[in-house]
Amino acid sequence: MARHDADARADSGTRRQVRRRAARALVYSGLVSLFTVTCYFVLPLSSEVTTRTVLTLVLGLGLVVVVLAWHVRSIIRSPYPRIRAAAALATLVPLFLVVFAASYYVMSRSAPASFSEPLTRLTSAYFTVTVFSTVGFGDIVPVTSAARAATTVQMLGDVVLVGVVARVIVGAARRGVARKETEESDPESDPAADSGDG
């Protein structure tokens, strides 16, 4: 009976630890997302579309790829891969959207006729989300070739993010779960090898 009670307490402690790690990972992702969005609304952005602006867009998309690669690695190594996968999506999607919202905002400030109406930071974010969600209300539309090209790049990126990236993250979560189950079934495995957060 005492052994059963000890096992129940240990199991309860493990569940509490999982909930704490899940909460910590999701709060961290939420804070990173909040920081990303705050930077978008607060930091000064150029009012000219230049080679530097295009390079910044490309570097921003490169940053999304780097963050994705880091998240995939951490999901696979994490003792709680499903939690880490949810946290990864909560970080990646806002970063991706902010890169395009900033691009549209700068484009609109540089050439106000780029879109059907001049864009503020908020309307740029709104337009980015409507394109991402494929709602396409039609109240804001790209007019110039450059604006249409940037929107096309976002639409292609949306397909990649929703299709390929989600699949990669889910695949990484499955690999992480399989790795965790293998370690749990093999008492000789080294749990110290898992240094990832939940």
Please report, for residues 48, 121, 192, the alpha-carbon distance to residue 183 in angstroms, rounded to integers and kept in the order given.
Answer: 54, 48, 11
Structure tokens at 153: 């790049």
Q: How many helices (H) and strands (E) does the chain have?
A: 6, 0
Inform me whether the pLDDT recorded for 35 exceeds 70.
yes
For the entire predicted model, the pTM comes to 0.71
Distance separating alpha carbons of residues 186 and 166, to the nearest angstrom:
30
In 3D, which of 88, 83, 96, 91 has the Cα closest to residue 33?
91
CA angle 109, 115, 121 (to 5 degrees): 50
Task: Write out the two tokens for 17.
Answer: 């630890």
* Predicted local distance difference test score (pLDDT) of residue 26: 80
* Nearest of 45, 60, 50, 58 to residue 120 by alpha carbon: 45
Cβ atoms < 10 Å from Cβ of 72:
21
Considering only CA atoms, which of 103, 112, 158 is closest in space to residue 136?
Answer: 158
Per-residue pLDDT tens digits for 147-186: 999 999 999 988 888 887 777 777 777 877 787 778 777 7
**Measured distance CA(134)–CA(3) in Å, rounded:** 56
pLDDT of the residue at 149: 93
In the chain, where the domains are located: 2-193
Report whether 37 contacts 154 (CB < 8 A).
no
Distance (Å, whole) CA 160 – CA 64:
12
Write the pLDDT tens digit of every residue in 67-103.
Answer: 778 877 887 777 777 777 778 888 888 888 998 999 8
In this model, does residue 10 exceed pLDDT 80? no
CA angle 126, 127, 131 (to 5 degrees): 120
Q: How far apart are CA 180 and CA 149, in angstroms?
A: 44
